[in-house]
Amino acid sequence: MKNAILLILSFTFLFTNFVFGQKGIQANFLKKFNFGIRAGGNLSTLLYNDGADQCAAELFGIEGSETYVPRYFIGGHTEFSFRDNMSITLGAQYVFKGGGEEFTMPDPANPSQRVSGTIDNRINYLQIPIQYNFKLKNYSIGVGGYWSYALSGEQVWDVEGSDTEKIDMQFGESAEDWMKKTDLGINIELGYKINNNFQIFAHYQQGLTPQMSDANRETFKSLGYDYKFFHRAYGIGLTFFIPRKG
């Protein structure tokens, strides 16, 4: 996790210094670019469909609902302004997301009784967002998408009457993998530029790719269940634009 953050921030710093050091180029095309760092917090969850809820209840006796959990993100940010009121932004971010669930299930020691519990999915991603922005004075609205690649993750089970259990998550498409390695989604963002160096923003992100591995989805389909779940997050953050030299 720390290595991913350091890699992203180091690349942003070195690339910015290289670009702004080219004074002849900067005076022309590259004046349209702004480079910076953005960070903030998300309320994140994994959103399950009706088929997943039905499967959990009928096969495992589990009944529950999703919960939003606090997560965070940090990374490099590039903005290209091709008109005074329009721009395209591209980034490379470390994103900690996932989601929780509160549930009840049969007590393993006494199936006639039910116990309560929680699940916390903690997943680390490298995320590449890109979006189109329309500006009106200091305000902006952005619409775009993102691509994420899973770096690592763990699932934390906390069941009444039992010790907390942490399970390393596997990512891929085989039956041994619970989730896919990648995620594609949409991003909608509202921003306000405080001055030349700082912008605050709020965003909504919705994953479009079902996250269960293909092998496990096919297994559940063979049992008659359309089991799907997706990422969703609401967040706020701050962008710091690196001052230009000269």
Is 243 within the bounds of a domain?
A: no
In a domain, 67, yes or no: yes
Percent with pLDDT over 70 in the chain? 87
Is 245 within the bounds of a domain? Answer: no
Residue 58 domain boundaries: 2-238
Confidence of residue 7 (pLDDT cuts 50, 70, 90): low
53 lies in a domain? yes
pLDDT per residue as tens digits for the range 170-194: 999 998 898 999 999 999 999 999 9
Domain count, the chain: 1
Confidence band for 21, pLDDT divided at 50, 70 and 90:
low
For residue 42, give the amino acid letter: N
* Predicted pLDDT at 27: 53
**Is residue 9 predicted with pLDDT exceeding 60?**
no
CB atoms within 10 A of CB 246: 7
**Average pLDDT, stretch 152-176?**
93
pLDDT-derived band at 111, boundaries 50, 70, 90: confident
Given this model, what pLDDT does residue 240 score? 97
Residue 10 lies in a domain: yes
Question: Can you tell me the mean pLDDT for 123-151?
Answer: 96
User: Who wins on pLDDT, 123 or 11?
Assistant: 123
Helix (H) or strand (E) holding 219: helix 214-222
Give CA–CA dist 206/81, Å, rounded. Answer: 26
The answer as to whether 118 is a domain residue is: yes
Distances 35 to 12, 21, 149, 196 between C-alpha atoms, Å? 8, 13, 23, 12
> Is the pLDDT score of 20 beyond 70?
no
Q: How many CA atoms lie within 13 A of 129 on its CB side?
A: 29
- CA 63/CA 56 separation, integer angstroms: 7
Could you tell me which residues come within 8 angstroms of residue 84 by beta carbon, excluding any fewer than 6 positions away?
A: 135
Please state, in angstroms and rounded to a whole number, the distance separating the CA atoms of residues 101 and 47: 10
Mean pLDDT across 86-110: 93
Instruction: Check residues 25 and 206 and name the one with the higher pLDDT.
Output: 206
Residue 78 lies in a domain: yes
pLDDT band at residue 10, thresholds of 50, 70 and 90? low
Phi-psi domain of 224 (left: phi exceeds 0; alpha: psi -120 through 50; beta: other): left
Q: What is the mean pLDDT of residues 31-39?
A: 89
pLDDT at 42 over 70: yes
Average pLDDT over residues 218-231: 95
Q: Report the candidate in 66, 69, 8 with the shortest Cα–Cα distance to residue 37.
A: 8
Does 26 or 160 have the greater pLDDT score?
Answer: 160
Instruction: Tell me the average pLDDT across 12-40.
Output: 66
Query: Residue 234 to residues 100, 148, 202: CA-CA distances in angstroms?
Result: 14, 16, 8
Residue 244 lies in a domain: no
Rounded to an integer, what distance in angstroms lies between the CA atom of residue 184 and that of residue 158? Answer: 30
Three-state DSSP string of 96-149: EEEEEEEEEEEECCEEEEEEEEEEEEEEEEEEEEEEEEEEECCEEEEEEEEEEE
- 3 state DSSP class of 170: coil
CATH number of the domain that residue 30 is part of: 2.40.160.20
Tokens of 66: 């999703």
Confidence (pLDDT) at 83 = 85
The two structure tokens encoding residue 169:
């998550």
Confidence band, pLDDT 50/70/90 cuts, at residue 82 = confident
Under the banding of pLDDT at 50, 70 and 90, the label for residue 234 is: very high
Phi, psi of 147 (to 5 degrees): -125, 130
